[in-house]
Amino acid sequence: MSMAGLVAISRTPLSVIFLGLWLAGCGVNTIPTLEEQAKAKLSDVSNQYQRRADLIPNLVETVRGYAKQERETLEAVVNARAKATSIQITPDAATDPEKLKQFQEAQGQLSSALGRLIAVSENYPDLKSNQNFLALQSQLEGTENRIAVARRDYIEAVRAFNTELRTFPGILWAKSLYSGQKPMEPFSVAEDVKRAPPVKF
């Protein structure tokens, strides 16, 4: 056998080994990448809920100016907002079902209270035509849409991450390099609060 033939044979096993290692390396970063994407999406959800919470004091004050006798409804909104903003959600909560549940319940209660506040405004034609109220109503409507989009994006990011942990080749990396990784919790909302508060008139 010629020298060239020996060199070709000796290179073949090495190239097979290198090719195998290269192929095995594909996907090794997928799990942490998907995890970071899901955490970022959860932060987006939190930011949109905070945006909504920031609108509420002005909305409450505007309604209070026209509907002082609706004290109970106004107090319910203020209390629900206080509870919702007291529960801070961090990216690490994605793997903590109890923390995520508390956050979701508080936001759901705030959505219900807001829905009642908007319904009360129907009884006050002067309030419904107030420019400040109309601007706040428009901002609230836009924020509710942003919340829905942020929740949808987070749910999709969690689905991708959890799927990677359970399917090949991700399951190999999950068991070997990322054995401490837990599946993330999807963001779910009770049926009665899935719909955004009705803010259109």
Between 183 and 11, name the one with better pLDDT. Answer: 183
Is pTM, for the whole model, over 0.85? no
* Residue listed under structure tokens 């049926």: 191
What single DSSP character describes residue 167?
S
pLDDT tens per residue, range 45-96: 999 999 999 999 999 999 999 888 888 999 999 999 999 999 988 888 889 9
pLDDT tens per residue, range 94-145: 899 999 999 999 999 999 999 999 898 888 999 988 999 999 999 999 999 9
Domains assigned to the chain: 28-193 (1.20.1440.20)
| pLDDT, position 191 | 47
> How far apart are alpha carbons 71 and 64 in whole angstroms?
8
pLDDT tens per residue, range 145-162: 999 999 999 999 999 999
Neighbours of 85 (CB within 10 A): 16
Q: Evaluate whether 92 touches 65 at the Cβ level (below 8 Å).
A: no
